[in-house]
Amino acid sequence: MQLPFIDLLNGIFSLIGLIIAIIIGLKLISKYFRYKRRDLFLIGLVFILLPEPWWPSNILFLSLILTGYYLKLEIILLIGNIFLPITTLLWLIVFNDLLDYKRKKEIYGIFIVQGILFEIFLFYYLFTNPSIIGEISGNVDVNYGLFASLYHLTILIVAIITGTLFARECWKSNDPKTRLKGKLIFAAVYSFVVGSILDILSASSIILLTLARIILILASIELYGGFILPNWMQKIFLKG
C-alpha cells in the first residue's frame, strides 16, 4: 500500500524508536545476569514496555506495508494499553528500591488499585465502545481519547516526580559518575515528557513529528546512560 509521506515517516520513526528501546532493554536485562542487580532487570523490562502507546503505530505501519490491511481497532487499542499498569508499577519498584521510600506498600497499593480499575474499564470500553479509548488517525497513528490520555498523563507525572527525586539524590554525591547518572536520568525524563507532548501535537506536521521522535529516541539513550553509564558516555561528559 502506498502511504502518504508523513505516515511513512511516522511509521519509520516509530519502528526505529521501538527497535532501539528493545535493544537497550535487552542489554539492561543481560547486565542483570552479570551484576545480579534487580533494578537493571526491571528497568530493562520498563524500556521494552514504556513505548507501548506507540506500538499501534508500528503494527499499523507493518500491517499496511506487508498486507495492505488494518487490524481491528479493538486489537490495536488493547496492544497499546494493556501493559501500562505493569510498566508503571515496575518503574515505581525500581525507583523505590533506589531511593528507599518509607511508604512503599502504600505507594504500590495506590497504583495497583488504579491499574486494576484502568484494566477493568479498558476491557469494558473495548467490548462496548472502543472509540472512547482511541481512534485510528490517518493511516498509522492512534489518537487516544480522554480515558486513555488521563492514564498516560499519570505515567508522565510519575516519571517526572520519581526522576526528579532520584536526580536530586544523585547530585548530592561527591562521585562525578553518580552526579552524571543523575543528570542523564533527569534529562531522560524531561526529554520523554517533551517528546510525548510534541508527538501528540504532530498530527499534520512533519517537522514536529520528526523532532518528537528524535527527542524520544534521545530519551532512551539518556536513560540507558543513567543506569549503565557506558565508557563512551564517560569520555564525552567526564573529560576532566
* Domain parsing of the chain, residue ranges: 5-237
- E strands, the chain, are 134-137, 141-144
Look at 110-124, 126-140, 155-169, 190-204 and tell me which has the smallest mean pLDDT.
190-204
5-237 sits in which CATH class? Answer: mainly alpha
The mean per-residue pLDDT over the stretch 46-72 comes to 86
CA separation for the pair 186, 163 (Å, rounded): 6
pLDDT tens per residue across span 90-128: 999 988 887 777 778 888 999 999 999 999 999 999 999
pLDDT score recorded for residue 100: 72
Sequence-separated (6 or more) residues with CB below 8 Å from residue 38: 32, 97
CB-based contact 56:79 (threshold 8 Å): yes
**Given this model, what pLDDT does residue 78 score?**
95
Question: Phi first, then psi: what are they for 173, rounded to 5°?
Answer: -75, 150
Q: Write the DSSP symbol of residue 60.
A: H
Tracing cell 528501546 back to the chain, one arrives at 21
Q: Decide: helix, strand or coil at residue 185.
A: helix
Q: Are 65 and 144 in contact, with CB atoms under 8 Å apart?
A: no
* Per-residue CA distances from 143 to 5, 135, 163, 188 (Å): 19, 5, 27, 24
- pTM of the full structure: 0.88
pLDDT in tens, 11-58: 888 899 899 999 999 999 998 888 888 888 999 999 899 889 889 888
Over 80: is that where the pLDDT of 204 sits? no
Cα 81 versus chain centre, distance: 12
- The pLDDT value recorded for residue 172 is 87
| Mean pLDDT for the stretch of residues 192-216 | 84
Cβ-count burial of 36 within 10 angstroms (0-12 exposed, 13-18 middle, 19+ buried)? exposed
